[in-house]
Chains A and B, each alone.
Chain A
Amino acid sequence: MSQQLPKILESIIQEIPNLIFKEQDRHRLRLELQKETLPALLELLKGRAGYLHLSAISCVDWPETDEFELVYHLWSYEIKTLISAHIHIPKKPGHYISVYDIYTPAAFFERDIHEMFGVYFEGAPDMEPFILTEWYGPPPMLKSFSSLDYVKDTFKWQEYSPDWLKDIEAKGGKVVE
């Protein structure tokens, strides 16, 4: 472990079982942990190290392993080290627990992820549609969702055949897609 890392962080990291940690920088720490231990980590970080700011939760869809990766980005104004905590959850059933009781802003991030990826967060205050109010299709950020096919089914296209293109086509050329 690095000498620069504050002791309080070291002690928290040691308390969490099966945690892999990688220090990218004095100000940037990447933690990979089991999904069961994440709420405990957040509680410890918030309670002991002043990690009051959950700046985002991001989600990554991994089709090869059939998993979602959830990344919790945390910031402490005292320690000044950005922590990103990575967990993997299976795509089916795609459920996880909400951290709304620890960080209130998580409600928005979880609602957004539910809409864009279909992950359901148990205990979240609101899982209603958020931004996509006119959306009837599957969660659009999934790798399995083909935006091109959806667009082809939903919208019509404008015919495009200007004179200059006709000239080129007469000589055997065409528009390359």
Chain B
Amino acid sequence: MTTNIQMKSETCRTPDKEERSLLRQVLDKIADHCRARSLFILHYCTGCGAIELPPTITSRFDAERLGIQPMVTPRQADILLITGYLSIKTLKRVILTYEQMASPKYVIGMGSCTINGGMYWQSYATVKRLLEYIPVDIYMAGCMPRPEAIQQGFLQLMDNIDKGHANTWKDYYHNYDEYLGNQQGLFGPDWHTPTDVIAEARHYQLFGEKTIGEHTALLAKFASEYVTKPIPKEIIA
């Protein structure tokens, strides 16, 4: 099994970074520019912040002016909006959803609860820092942020995407071991998702040193024909 995967990865062509032609780089810029102006938010709401979204999306503030509108499936969505506090149970669903979204994907942490637990900082059931479990592109402070603040956040995110700064989704592949370790700290050592993140990291050519490690080694028992068995570091070296 292990050798098979190795062979596959070796037969894959690894393009040089310098290989991208000038034209291609220009096209990438144009693609980023267009992408920033057509963002779909996943229609998934947690906590109390969801109540600020109807005025943001509908005619009063009309987010569609910015090219932002809700979308019903994670596969078609670009933005995962975490609207308020996350219980540990919800975080599990959020991670499952996040991993199903197609890259590039962006996470917005809305409200103070996603930053530091907010007014639920003392609760045993509420997640304190969202960025330990999934990478966050932008935070909107407030309890809750008003639609104006949300739109300001959207504009900032669009600007980041346009300039090519919104790259935290790559961080999830680069540092998957650390993220998985934090998730396992809450959900126990048997935690695993149906998404094969390690194989995706290879596909996107984002497989780095920290993609696998001691935490991903625990995934080995869930490996199958369809899910990559994490390769120990010694073999790769």
**Across the interface, which residues of B come within 8 angstroms of A150, CB to CB?**
124
Cα A48 to Cα B186 in complex, Å, equals 50
Nearest chain A CB to B46 CB, angstrom units: 16
**Across the interface, which residues of B come within 8 angstroms of A164, CB to CB?**
none
Q: Provided the pairs A133-B89, A134-B187 are in contact, do residues A157 and B124 lie with their beta carbons within 8 angstroms?
A: no
Pull 13 A–B residue pairs with CB atoms less than 8 Å apart, ordered by A. Answer: A134-B88, A134-B89, A134-B186, A134-B187, A147-B123, A150-B124, A151-B121, A151-B123, A151-B128, A155-B127, A156-B128, A157-B128, A158-B116
Cα A143 to Cα B141 in complex, Å, equals 33
| Cβ B124 vs Cβ A140 within 8 A | yes
**Across the interface, which residues of A come within 8 angstroms of B185, CB to CB?**
154
| Cβ B125 vs Cβ A155 within 8 A | no
B214 contacts the other chain (Cβ, under 8 Å)?
no
| Cβ A147 vs Cβ B122 within 8 A | yes
The 7 closest A-B pairs by CB, nearest first: A155-B128, A158-B116, A134-B88, A147-B124, A150-B124, A140-B124, A134-B187
- List residues of A whose CB falls within 8 A of some B CB: 132-134, 136-137, 140, 147-148, 150-151, 154-158, 160
Nearest chain B CB to A164 CB, angstrom units: 14
| Cβ A132 vs Cβ B125 within 8 A | yes
- List residues of B whose CB falls within 8 A of some A CB: 88-89, 92, 115-117, 121-125, 127-129, 132, 185-188
Cα A133 to Cα B188 in complex, Å, equals 11
Q: Provided the pairs A134-B186, A134-B188, A157-B129 are in contact, do residues A148 and B117 lie with their beta carbons within 8 angstroms?
A: no
Cα A134 to Cα B92 in complex, Å, equals 10
With CB as the reference atom, state the residue of chain A lying closest to B127: A155
Cα A155 to Cα B187 in complex, Å, equals 13
**Across the interface, which residues of B come within 8 angstroms of A134, CB to CB?**
88-89, 92, 186-188
With CB as the reference atom, state the residue of chain B lying closest to A158: B116
With CB as the reference atom, state the residue of chain A lying closest to B88: A134
Nearest chain A CB to B192 CB, angstrom units: 14
Give which listed residue, B122, B128, B188, contacts A136 with CB less than 8 A.
B188
Nearest chain B CB to A139 CB, angstrom units: 11
Cα A151 to Cα B116 in complex, Å, equals 12
**Across the interface, which residues of A come within 8 angstroms of B89, CB to CB?**
133-134
Cα A72 to Cα B123 in complex, Å, equals 27
**Across the interface, which residues of A come within 8 angstroms of B188, CB to CB?**
134, 136
Nearest chain A CB to B186 CB, angstrom units: 6
